[in-house]
Chains A and B, each alone.
Chain A
Amino acid sequence: MIPFTRLDAKAAPLDVANIDTDQIIPKQFLKTVDREGLARGLFYDLRFEADGRPKGGFVLDDPAFAGAGVLIAGDNFGCGSSREHAPWALLDFGLRCVISSSFADIFYNNCFQNGLLPIALPREQVRMLMAEAKGGNHVFSVDLETQTVTSPSGQVFAFDIDPGGKEKLLKGLDAIGETLQAAADIDAYEARRALDQPWLELA
């Protein structure tokens, strides 16, 4: 996993609440056995006609926001399906950070597995950032170490993040490798459980 430390990038405002993972990446892009190449499906129905022609008008297709690294979205971003294709698609498009007033639990969790930083801020602060993002000619700075977002006008917004998740992002940790270091604990748990609930071992 690519570590996340600091990002200086344009931010694209998407002022819509309850963006669900079906909108982030529709079903037809889930029939892949790969993690790569999903940028083509990102926000597909919002960006493309059914026949594949660009619709135009979607913020990420606006040349002013070309190369944006941050997405600023409305409340409850990433609700719905557990599809990890959603963070994969955002990352594949070049986005490394999503700012919203709230995130759905499974999406939020999936971000940390992939080096995508989800930042939750109070709604008024998200509004202020969204206002500054309009127009696109700007740079936002996101610093995970200090847990701050600095807007183009120089306003600094501090954000909370779970310390374990922060460490995982900063170091780009392999969670499975970490857990396997506790293999002896897992062995002990299983041995205990086999005595307490023997019927689970009979299947």
Chain B
Amino acid sequence: MSGKTLYDKIWDAHVVSTDANGEAILYIDLHLIHEVTTPQAFAGLRAAHRPVRRPDRTLAVADHNIPTEGQALGVGAVADVEARAQLQALERNVADYRIEFFPMGDPRNGIVHVVGPEQGRTQPGMTIVCGDSHTSTHGAFGALAQGIGTSEVEHVLATQTLRQQKSKNMRVTFTGAPAPGVGAKDFALAMIGRIGTSGGTGHVIEFAGEAITALSMEGRMTLCNLTIEGGARAGLVAPDQTTFDYLMGRPSAPKGAAWEMAVRHWRRFVTDADAVFDVEVAIDVSTIAPTVTWGTSPQDVVAVDGRVPDPAQFDTDTAGAIRRALDYMGLEAGQRIDEARIDRVFIGSCTNSRIEDLRAAAAIAAGRQVAPHVRAMVVPGSGLVKDQAESEGLDVIFREAGFDWREPGCSMCLGMNPDRLAPGERCASTSNRNFEGRQGRGGRTHLMSPAMAAAAAVAGHIVDVRTLL
């Protein structure tokens, strides 16, 4: 019998029971919640008079619809009536059910997928869920982390378990060393371009290879974050010394003798040498250029020195989809992508708002100026990231270059708060989705790395960051 994958091992360690149909009751170690996908879940609990089984294994933040200025004024000052009601509902729910909560304005608050790791709540070998598809981010720690719907949020609150069929195993091995200016965001976009936006459907993807081992935790989080854009609910990187070094000393990480015991436990969560994957993909990162999206799906990728596709060169079905995307994006068939003039820049989101991301963007912005026709904003992933960046003087670099330095939250990644694109505006964005209307109705999103977004801000158009290094 062949060995087990990392996914197999985490799965096996969390199965409470399995029914005749093969559906498992899977124990959940950590449940992260936020204001947008939980109100109906708490309403369901109340209606059925059910308690929250493990409030101590649940952590709440306010991130999706909070404004990125004036947070110190409190939720009562949030201008959007519906957003305010949702934020107040969360405050009421966490108080009623005694769930730990980092409210808006608390330095520990921020984007849920930045906060979990930052607090040391996210740990290897865990099962983690959240009513948000980018929960895959936490897979960077070797935790099985997946997005769930609101009914499942209610199920986890009530039972601390999830009912689920096991997924298949897929491995993407990244070999080689990246060129300067190329990083985890480019790895992810190149992979999604290769496998397609449904390439990972039904699978959990483990990322392996020397290029992954060499990535920082921030880079691994960016990559795992984007797993869902390749169709897989969860991505995984096996925990190693980089993981343990990141976690050590964080508020919720184990301490002292418990730390030693935990590390011994965590080291077991690696794929056996003789394990067999249902699907294997190999990517040589030395062949990857800084990558951007041209269309309205994360699979619509192009190297920054490349051209957008020409529908004339494709079959009827594909050509139709390309034409529709080009029309929405306001691009000409076959044009160079670096000729696309931009109006806005968004540096932030659960994909790219951590300290390393801000450092990479600041390194490009330093001593340069945002192009006069561009509005650029930087939104740190949490209050603690913001504090760290300010202690390093990054806020000064951004401000002097003409960037708007904001308060933390999901912000213009999904435009639920006032930060959004106007119709027709073109945005260089470090976020995760370039769907039609995602960042604002009629808005045109080009996904790219923080350094590429900063480069676009100063050039005024999409540009190869390697020319600015």
Shortest CB distance A125–B (Å): 16
Is B40 close to A, CB under 8 A? Answer: yes
Question: B19 and A164: CB pair below 8 A?
Answer: yes
| Cross-chain contact B89 with A33 (CB below 8 angstroms) | yes
Tell me the chain B residues, 57-108 only, with Cβ under 8 Å from chain A.
57, 64-65, 80, 82-83, 85-86, 89
Also in contact, A76 and B262, with CB within 8 A (given A22-B433, A27-B416, A106-B148):
no
With both chains docked as a complex, state the minimum distance between the C-beta of A68 and any C-beta of chain B, in angstroms.
Answer: 23
- Min CB distance, A158 to chain B, in Å? 19
CB-contact partner of A81 in B17, B133, B146, B151, under 8 A? B133
In the complex, A8 has a CB within 8 A of chain B: no
Find residues 100-143 in chain A having any chain B CB closer than 8 Å to their own CB: 102-106, 109-110, 113-114
Q: Is B282 an interface residue (CB 8 A)?
A: no
Residue of A nearest to B258 (CB): A199
The interface stretch among B21-29, B176-184, B305-313, B361-369 is B21-29
**Which residues from chain A contact B64 at a C-beta distance below 8 Å?**
30
A199 and B89 in contact, given A106-B148, A106-B233 (Cβ under 8 angstroms): no
Interface size class of A (residues with CB under 8 A): 35 or more
Take A82-B147, A110-B149, A186-B16 as given contacts and tell me if A164 and B197 are in contact as well, using a CB distance cutoff of 8 Å.
Answer: no
A189 to B159, CA, bound (A): 12
B159 near A113: Cβ-Cβ < 8 Å: no
Instruction: Give the CA-CA distance A65 to B16 in the complex, in Å.
Output: 46
Q: Is the CB of A80 within 8 A of B435?
A: yes
A32 contacts chain B at the CB level, 8 A cutoff: yes
How many B residues face the partner with a CB closer than 8 A? 77
Q: B120 → chain A, closest Cβ, in Å?
A: 9
Please give, as numbers and ranges, the residues of chain B lying within 8 Å of A202 by CB-CB distance. 254, 258
Selected contact of B21 from candidates A28, A50, A80, A162, CB within 8 Å:
A162
A38 to chain B, nearest CB (A): 11
B150 within 8 A of A: yes
Is residue B265 contacting chain A, with contact meaning CB distance below 8 A?
A: yes
State whether A75 and B198 are in contact (beta carbons under 8 Å apart), knowing that A80-B433, A84-B37 are contacts in the complex.
yes
A31 in contact (CB, < 8 A):
yes
Name the prevailing secondary structure of the B interface residues: loop
Say yes or no: A185 contacts B261, CB within 8 Å.
no
The proximity string for A residues 77-109 relative to B, scoring 1 for CB distances below 8 Å and 0 otherwise, is: 001111110010000000000000011111001
Chain B residues within an 8 Å CB radius of A26? 437, 441
Tell me the smallest distance from the CB of A144 to a CB of chain B, in Å: 15
Does A18 lie at the interface of the complex (its beta carbon under 8 Å from any beta carbon of B)?
Answer: yes
Instruction: Check if A176 sits within 8 Å of B48, measured CB to CB.
Output: yes
Instruction: Give residues 95-153 of B contacting A (CB, 8 Å).
Output: 121, 131-133, 146-152
User: B201 contacts which of A81, A104, A114 (Cβ < 8 Å)?
Assistant: A104
- Write the A181-196 contact mask toward B (1 if CB under 8 angstroms, else 0): 0110110011001001
- Residues of B1-41 at the interface with A, using a CB-CB cut-off of 8 Å, are 16-17, 19, 21-23, 25, 27, 29, 36-37, 39-40
CB of B415 within 8 Å of the partner chain: yes
With A33-B86, A81-B133, A163-B21 as known contacts, state yes or no: A105 contacts B441, CB within 8 Å: no
Question: CB-nearest residue of chain A relative to B44?
Answer: A176
User: A33 CA to B150 CA in the complex, in Å?
Assistant: 11
The 9 residue pairs across chains A and B that have the minimum distance between CB atoms: A113-B151, A199-B254, A84-B149, A33-B39, A31-B82, A164-B21, A110-B149, A82-B147, A199-B258
Cβ contacts A to B, 21 pairs, < 8 Å: A20-B297, A30-B36, A32-B86, A33-B39, A75-B198, A79-B231, A81-B414, A82-B37, A104-B201, A106-B147, A106-B149, A162-B23, A175-B163, A176-B48, A176-B50, A179-B25, A186-B27, A186-B160, A190-B27, A197-B265, A200-B29
